[in-house]
């Protein structure tokens, strides 16, 4: 893939991520993890780490930033998810991509809610408090999972469809020139 193509895709993904964060939506139903996975599979390590962070930073500029420790957990989880995309790239199939979408949801849930438990005053700093934190976060997990199960196939499917159409167009052009 050319650098120009990567740049165009990157701008589109950042725009999608920011726009979806700024539009009214169900909590955690967002494309950021899907963008991280997609970038890891198709664009490479720097994009896998950078694109979700850029989209989050721009979105947070408008929405507002929050406790830096929680932000670090959120941003860090997206970096891990981007790296997961690099692993998926080596074994890319529909099944591994969709499994990656589920794993990404679990990573985000575990990392961010541990940080909420650890750094917020809302929960006792005990096993019971941690369990309470995770239990109360389950509706957010559902939305994260549904968001990933929606955005991952949309991004991956759209890209693969464009690749197939481009190949067909090239073949038709070669046939008509011969």
How far, in Å, CA of 105 to CA of 99, rounded? 10
Q: What is the DSSP letter of 31?
A: S
Going through the chain in order, the beta strands assigned E by DSSP cover none
Q: Are 109 and 137 in contact (CB under 8 A)?
A: yes
Provide the pLDDT for residue 159: 96
Residue with tokens 């721009």: 58
How far, in Å, CA of 47 to CA of 53, rounded? 10
Positions of the chain with pLDDT lower than 50, given as ranges: none
| Domains identified in the chain and CATH numbers | 3-177 (1.10.1760)
Q: Are 82 and 49 in contact (CB under 8 A)?
A: yes
| Nearest Cα to Cα of residue 52 among 22, 16, 27 | 16
How far, in Å, CA of 115 to CA of 8, rounded? 34
3-state helix, strand, coil in the chain (%, to 5): 85, 0, 15
């Amino acid at each position: 893939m050319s650098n120009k193509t990567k740049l165009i895709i990157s701008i589109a993904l950042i725009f999608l991520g920011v726009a979806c964060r700024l539009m009214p939506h169900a909590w955690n139903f967002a494309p950021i993890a899907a963008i991280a996975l997609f970038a890891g599979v198709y664009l490479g390590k720097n994009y896998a780490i950078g694109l979700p962070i850029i989209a989050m930073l721009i979105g947070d500029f408008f929405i507002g930033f929050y406790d830096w420790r929680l932000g670090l957990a959120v941003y860090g989880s997206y970096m891990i998810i981007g790296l997961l995309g690099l692993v998926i790239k080596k074994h890319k199939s529909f099944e591994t991509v969709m499994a990656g979408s589920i794993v990404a949801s679990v990573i985000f849930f575990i990392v961010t809610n541990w940080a909420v438990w650890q750094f917020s005053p809302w929960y006792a700093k005990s096993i019971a408090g941690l369990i309470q934190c995770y239990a109360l976060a389950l509706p957010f997990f559902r939305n994260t999972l549904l968001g990933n199960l929606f955005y991952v196939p949309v991004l991956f499917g759209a890209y693969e469809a464009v690749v197939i159409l481009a190949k067909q167009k090239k073949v038709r052009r070669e046939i008509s020139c011969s």
